[in-house]
Structure 1
Amino acid sequence: MKSARVRPVWQAALCTAVFSMTWSNFAGAALVGRDLGGSAAFDAYYDTELDITWLADANYAKTSGAVPDGYMTHAEALAWTAGLSVHGVGGWRLPSVAPVNGVAYQPEFSLDGSTDFGFALTGEGWGTASELGHLFYVTLGNTGYLDAPSTCADPCALQHTAPFANFQSHAYWSGSPVPDAYSPSVWILETWSGRQSPIGPDALIHAWAVHDGDVAAIPEPESAALLLVGLAALAGRSLHRKRSAK
């Protein structure tokens, strides 16, 4: 019986890279699949426009068993993301909301994303100021509730969720508090309607973990160990060849 063949580290990395690019090219989107667990399934998606990585499961707190119903207060959501480890990758956080004008939050209600409170336009969102808003309106191409066709079935706003699993038609926390004058409250995105708004931190809603940069560039402990072993083997082979040549 033949023994199982173990692929060199560089071959495994190459296969992972090719598999990741296949999704990106096929989808024609700014999301590149990342297989963190080596199971030939995407655990996360790298957002090339925002330079962050989204968990593939938009309700991972529930499906992982960490939070039975997936609903958390803001403090609980912060604690969950801070302590999260996915196949050895830590450093997760909640999505951020920065002022759309780049200076200060504008709490006035608008229908076109010109202020921080209200709805935005499909394909525009709040630019890159709102990570959740950009994903919802730009990357996935969803439409705010007020602009949705009157003939569409509820939820009219959240029509496009692929390639993510368990995308909730409710609301998601950001990690960004509203300024002191409006505290205590935190920015959220209502995914059932597309509205970005402030809400009290004790509300019970969903949390979605994101990671700065591309997690594919962060070696898992096991991968790092294998890489070191491979490098040591190469160094040993080179030294053996030099000695044999003398």
Structure 2
Amino acid sequence: MKKGLLALGAAVALSSVAPANAALAPASPGLINDTTLNITWLQDANLVKTSCDANNALWQAFDPSTSTGNTRSKAQICADNGRLNWYEAEDWVAVLNSQSYLGYNDWRQPETTQPDASCSLVDGSSQNYGYRCTGSELGHLFNVSLGNPNEVDNSCFGVYPHCLQNTGPFSNMQSFTYWSGTEYAPLPTFAFYFGTDNGYQDEDVKDVSNLFVWPVRGGQSAVAPTTAQAIPALGGFGLVALGALLAGLAGWRIRLFG
């Protein structure tokens, strides 16, 4: 008993000076806060497929027939594991916003910062691409927050899921390519993408290629309150005092009962 009290006192005291500060922190259900980039990811990295399988309100509201470059029915998109061309992806994000999905109406596709000196390659228009890109939101997530390798440094592009060896707190993360919302400035009919199968960033034709879409929103999303979160409300000083009190109780028990 006395050892338990001492351990509890120490743990509570330490929690006030060394709080967890993970880069990817669960927010309310379905959302993951990225505390480094100050954005919120959907926990479901393939919500299109999840929605079409469930035939939910999002899927019913989605009408890709009006999207630029659309040549497929909704059934064909669903059969293609939910992959969309870039314009369809933009229209899908618009549906999330019109439905205030999970309480927010500011969803967008991930951004790709240019120039990005962290990338391994640069083209004649000073646009960076290739491996090790960390300036883009998807690149930072894949390379830094999740710590995945790439096919050049690790030779991981062999057996599925290839270089996607850590998916962290996310579900349905695909080992393939995901659209970015950032257009390729020298040729706006192209947009950037990031490959979670090999760690490669490049650009592709917006109205032809069918890739996955993973909406994000700027800022941190609200965290659902839990019982465990009630303790930090004491503040740092209060937690230290509580730890000292518990340790004192343990000492009193030792003197009283030997």
Q: Same fold (TM over 0.5)?
A: yes
Structure with the bigger RCO (C-alpha within 8 Å, sep 6+) is 2
Contact 2:156 2:198 in 1 (8 A): no
Q: Secondary structure at the match of 2:102?
A: coil
Structure 1 position 46 matched with structure 2 position 39:
no
Contact 1:58–1:166, Cα closer than 8 Å, also in 2? yes
Distance 1:151 1:76, change over 3 A: closer
8 Å contact from structure 1 (residues 168, 191) kept in 2 = yes
Residue 34 in 1 paired to residue 39 in 2?
Answer: no
Residue in 1 aligned with 2:189?
184
CA RMSD of aligned residues (A): 2.7
Structure 1: distance between partners of 2:115 and 2:32: 24
Contact 2:162 2:175 in 1 (8 A): no
Matched, 1:159 2:146: no
Equivalent AA in structure 1 for residue 202 of structure 2: S
Name the aligned partner's letter for residue 112 of structure 2. Answer: V
Alignment of 1:207-226 (within 5 A): 207-216=213-222
Number of the residue aligned with 1:57: 44
* 1:72 and 2:84 aligned: yes
Q: What's the offset of the Cα at 1:34?
A: 1.3
Q: State which of 192, 200, 211 in structure 2 corresponds to 1:205.
A: 211
Q: Counterpart in 2 of 1:196?
A: 201
| Count of residues in correspondence between the two structures | 173
SS of 2:103's partner is coil
Structure number, greater radius of gyration: 2
- The 3-state SS of whatever aligns with 1:83 is helix
Separation in structure 2 between the aligned mates of residue 144 and residue 94 of structure 1, nearest angstrom: 23
Identity across the alignment (%): 36
Deviations 1:20-63 (A, max 9, x none): xxxx93xx63011112xxxxxx3110101100000000001110
Shift of 1:215: 2.0
Instruction: Map 1:52-201 onto structure 2 (within 5 A).
Output: 52-65=39-52, 66=59, 68=78, 69-84=81-96, 85-101=100-116, 107-108=122-123, 116-120=128-132, 125-126=133-134, 129-149=135-155, 153-180=159-186, 182-201=187-206
Report the TM-score when normalising by structure 2: 0.61
Is this contact kept in 2: 1:148–1:156, CA < 8 A? no
Cα distance between partner residues in 1 of 2:204 and 2:86: 10
Give 5+ residue unaligned stretches, structure 2: 1-18, 53-58, 60-76, 224-258
How many angstroms does 1:153 deviate by? 3.5
Q: 1:163 to 1:108 in 2, by over 3 A?
A: same
Deviations 1:51-103 (A, max 9, x none): 0000000001110222623111101101111220323322100000011448x
Letter in 1 for 2:33: Y
Residues 98 and 91 (structure 1 numbering): CA distance in 2 closer, same or farther, change over 3 Å?
same
Residue type of the partner of 2:206?
Answer: P
Aligned CA distance change for structure 1 residues 197 and 151 (closer, same or farther; 3 Å): closer
Alpha-carbon offset, residue 150 of structure 1: 6.2
Match of 2:3 in 1: none
Name the structure where helix makes up a greater proportion of residues.
2
User: Does structure 2 retain, via aligned residues, the 8 Å contact 1:133–1:189?
Assistant: yes
CA distance in 2, matches of 1:187, 1:201: 9
CA contact (8 A) 1:83 1:90 kept: no
Q: Shift in Å at residue 179 of structure 1? A: 1.3
Instruction: Give the Cα–Cα distance (whole angstroms) in 2 for the partners of residues 158 and 115 of structure 1.
Output: 25
Paired residues of 1:155 and 1:193 also in contact (CA < 8 A): no
